[in-house]
Structure 1
Amino acid sequence: MAYGPPSPIVMAAEWPRAAWAIGSLALAGDRLRSAPRGDGRPVLVLPGLVNSDRSNFVMRRFLTRLGYRAYPWELGRNLGRRAIGTDGARLIARIERIHAESGEKVTLIGVSLGGMMARFAAGQRPDLVREVITVSSPFAGEPRDTNVWRAFEWFTGDRIDGDAVRQWGAACAAPLSMPSTAIWSRSDGLVNGLACRAPGQPLARDIEVRSNHVGVQLRPAVLLAIAAVLAGTSTE
């Protein structure tokens, strides 16, 4: 289903709202410290388009302090299929290593394009993945439901209307065989929030937050939502 991109007015507010997202962390210390404790499970965090592991440092530190084993993806900047391999082989190899090291299935948390990649990998190798959490990831819409599709083409080298990207997108949107949670916002200025969740899919749920897109992984509401989802998942 096509939802269309966010309005130019909402997009223009992205950077001022991103600055507030950073500042809001300092005001949410007590709330973040009171988040439910983790159980030591391995969690792999995937960055958004063009971003590297540095963009998710706060999230990984937060999860580590809660008691999870939070891993960076170690695949450099997220340049789409260039980063993970056309068939996702590099990302799947990273998940395999964490699975072997921990002896457990891996929870995947992906921001924006990283969330789509998490869903793709989980669909390819459900034997390795315990759960998927996406944050502002437009996996359920059309490429032009975003204001960044031209940037996607520029940095990844893929055409959004090409057969390869269409097939890859369909794989990302397919229902998963493990629990999945989509964290999304109606006020996202870069991607249409309605394209970031798939109501009606088995084992899937979505959580709406108030947020912009840039720096969404720094929002206290997002971090607390992730902590609540992880804490509410029964251990195997």
Structure 2
Amino acid sequence: MTSSSLLLHPKSRAAAGTPPGRRPALALLATEPARATLEAVQALGHWRHAPEQVGQGHTVVLFPGLATDGLTLWPLRRHLERAGFRAMDWGQGFNTGPRGDPDEWLDRLAESIETRMSPAREVSLVGWSLGGFYARELAKRWPDRVNQVITIGTPFNGSADDTNVGWLFRLLNGKRPPNEAALRKRLAEPPSVPTTSLYSRRDGVVAWEACTHARRFRQARDIEVQASHMGMGWAPEVLDQVSGLLASRHDRKAAA
């Protein structure tokens, strides 16, 4: 499947201003491991076919989800490398969430990422779940350096009450997630660069409504995929969507 065909029939959801719903049913959460395992088996078959070479060496930084590290996103990173991208792990190891003041923590993360992505001047940022918040916020700091942002199952338009893992964040970080009131409003605003949110109604960890924009933004859109939350790092449809979106944006900029 070519990158252009991926975008001809996207299962896009127009932002309708619907508030985030309640957390996913526990039945969905309970089946996450089994569904993620099935998606891994499907990914093995998908990998037998080499992806189209569309990356042209463009640098992509990947941010893992809560309580995971770069190994979880290794299938996605490898898929992008096979497609010709320079795909990089965020380099911070296990993701336990921001420590201390969120802005100071993000400043330190930005410095670290900037060092790692050298000599690239322009990058794209891809984040899964909690990692998507980092991608969006770093893009707000680097509007002239970020080509685009892609989030995967990231509940930027919600709160810990729209997930089944709020307790895990508190266990790892020692406090309630810092996304209340003004901070929640800020996190819901997309960066000023092209931003795509991939969400799934089959997500058993976060409410899919919380992964969509509450209103229309000029450079933001939401695309539905079929995947479990745990399997989004290797589900074939997610792999193809991410590489297709990255290639499409890169081609448009090159032609400009």
Could you tell me the TM-score, scaled by structure 1's length? 0.90
Distance 1:72 1:204, change over 3 A: same
Map of 2:41 onto structure 1: 23
Does the aligned pair in 2 maintain the 1:42–1:98 contact within 8 Å? no
Map of 1:177 onto structure 2: 192
Within a 5 Å distance, the mapping from 1:41-60 to structure 2 comes to 41-60=58-77
Question: What is the distance in 1 between the residues matched to 2:40 and 2:187?
Answer: 30
Question: What is the distance in 2 between the residues matched to 1:34 and 1:42?
Answer: 17
CA-to-aligned-CA distance 1:92-115 (integer Å, 9 cap, x gap)? 11332245421x221000000000
Map of 2:132 onto structure 1: 115
Map of 1:214 onto structure 2: 230
Does the aligned pair in 2 maintain the 1:44–1:70 contact within 8 Å? yes
Which 5+ residue runs of structure 2 have no aligned equivalent? 1-18
SS of 1:229's equivalent? helix
**Aligned equivalent of 1:191, options 183, 202, 206:** 206
Question: What is the distance in 2 between the residues matched to 1:146 and 1:155?
Answer: 16
Question: What is the distance in 2 between the residues matched to 1:83 and 1:19?
Answer: 35
SS of 1:186's equivalent? coil
Could you tell me the TM-score, scaled by structure 2's length? 0.84
Question: What is the distance in 2 between the residues matched to 1:129 and 1:167?
Answer: 25
Which 5+ residue runs of structure 1 have no aligned equivalent? none
Question: What is the distance in 1 between the residues matched to 2:143 and 2:174?
Answer: 28
SS of 1:75's equivalent? coil
Map of 2:221 onto structure 1: 205
CA-to-aligned-CA distance 1:12-42 (integer Å, 9 cap, x gap)? 11111111111111221355x2445212111
Deviates more, 1:131-140 or 1:114-123: 114-123
Question: What is the distance in 2 between the residues matched to 1:77 and 1:18?
Answer: 20
Instruction: Please tell me the residue identity of whatever aligns with 1:213.
Output: H
Distance 1:128 1:167, change over 3 A: farther
Distance 1:36 1:207, change over 3 A: farther
Map of 2:161 onto structure 1: 144
Question: What is the distance in 2 between the residues matched to 1:136 and 1:44?
Answer: 17
Within a 5 Å distance, the mapping from 1:93-108 to structure 2 comes to 93-102=111-120, 104-108=121-125
User: What is the Cα deviation at residue 83 of structure 1?
Assistant: 9.6
Larger RCO: Structure 1 or Structure 2 (Cα < 8 Å, ≥ 6 residues apart)?
A: 2
User: What is the Cα deviation at residue 6 of structure 1?
Assistant: 0.4
Map of 2:23 onto structure 1: 5
Map of 1:223 onto structure 2: 239
CA-to-aligned-CA distance 1:143-181 (integer Å, 9 cap, x gap)? 211111111111122313x5x654443332213210011
Q: How many residue pairs are counted as aligned between the two chains?
A: 232
SS of 1:153's equivalent? helix
* RMSD, aligned α-carbons: 2.0
**Aligned equivalent of 1:90, options 104, 108, 127:** 108
Map of 2:8 onto structure 1: none
SS of 1:158's equivalent? coil
SS of 1:235's equivalent? helix
Does the aligned pair in 2 maintain the 1:59–1:217 contact within 8 Å? yes
Question: What is the distance in 2 between the residues matched to 1:98 and 1:76?
Answer: 14
Map of 2:90 onto structure 1: 73
Bigger share in helix:
1
